[in-house]
Structure 1
């Protein structure tokens, strides 16, 4: 069952030139699916994620397209309608959840307020639900101690668990996890990702995972979108993308993984970087860095083609050939 359908979504910077920062992207999300959105800094992945709840900064606006969430077009929804959705049926875990908490209020009380806002429960029921979600995120033996802590008293890992607890408090259909492990050590990263998987299995929640870490995308997601400078350049099952990338940008990202070079070899790094906003690139945005760019790549806008039968998308006129497996 598809619960989120994004069609031809474009986002512009509000300025004299109205620069496009997300360019006509389309994708869908099924119940229970974990979708990864990956790309370098400046690719538009976080802006895309924020737009799904219409949480864009004041200098950005949705200029085109639809975001259909269970029959509601997020792009056209009123603020009152959005308030009923945010933190309820559609939640987000921020990159640094501690900074989004009220520093003067105990964390347990803040979780309780999220429940109180969206559910018609008495005080005892709300407390029980708060204790339940604290237990769900790993505080089974010390949920009262954590309930009574202030945000500044939490470690990075504890803060991320509180962010997850707030996100699942109202049993949402979708959770956006925006770089949820960036500031954590490897051991804590693994714990948080395992926790997200447990939550996803228990509640059958769909998750949109934003990350620049290909290993996390590979090990955690069912499907993936590869973004470059505001465009989706490749999409499909995570397994297929990692086994058989079609876009040269995807291949460049995968080549940089430690597992893909032998001992003694130098790390493969793509030349150049994400285009500057002032760069005048008429054709494919990746063409200045692409080892296989041809003349048409540099002159013409490249369209995104999606193969519904094989559930694969590509924005390239000279893609990598399929491997014979």
Structure 2
């Protein structure tokens, strides 16, 4: 009796993406399946930072890529490498210039990671996009923006990043920096002159810059966690700092919505968790906007917790059809 070919054929290897998330404090890598789930035990982290040298940064990035690849389950395959990096970037040439990592300017991140992959015997596509693009794709795929086709994703952490999906398609722009919401100007709210523009959103509303402003007012804490604890305890400076940051982010969201007719903004990143009241301050700005089509935008927390950036980096491969 002939054997059914369908029964005789070997099962196709389970496809995984090696996802890399590079930011101003750390770099992480993990394996992510086609459903947006991280492989248990495959997530690895190493430091980056303002003082890290090029060799140290390469050691961190190469280290997490090798460690994640070594976690590949038996019978599975890696079908691509997705990299989400703090910007600005040059997506055509695969270069990164993260503002909070000053030793990397026009650094060939895509080629470096591709070289590490080749050392591991991986002949697969390597895709680099700004981290804001990655987090937006993650929220659209398995997070808070499922089923919504006009979305901005934001990260409020060491820096402030963002990405856009408009009409169901990812918008990157020719250089890959579309959606860089951290560097829009937000009027007369003034922050630190870190990047030559104290009126940029990131200069006043990132975690470190919010804490820096609070310290100028007499706050004695040193971190975003300190500020969050003081806020809960009723510290007036901490409360004013959070309100100021929420207003600034709300203004930026209002401007982006007026420009792009957004339906939803999903926000993640460590400092976005400082207090739920931060979101209330953002929403208050939106609720008092004069255009009804701006007032319709919903501002929600990320549904993906700390896994979002890695899921998004994987989406660069698993959901590549959404990219230009």
Q: TM-score, with normalisation over the residues of structure 2?
A: 0.29
Q: TM-score, with normalisation over the residues of structure 1?
A: 0.29
Between structures 1 and 2, the one with greater helix share: 2
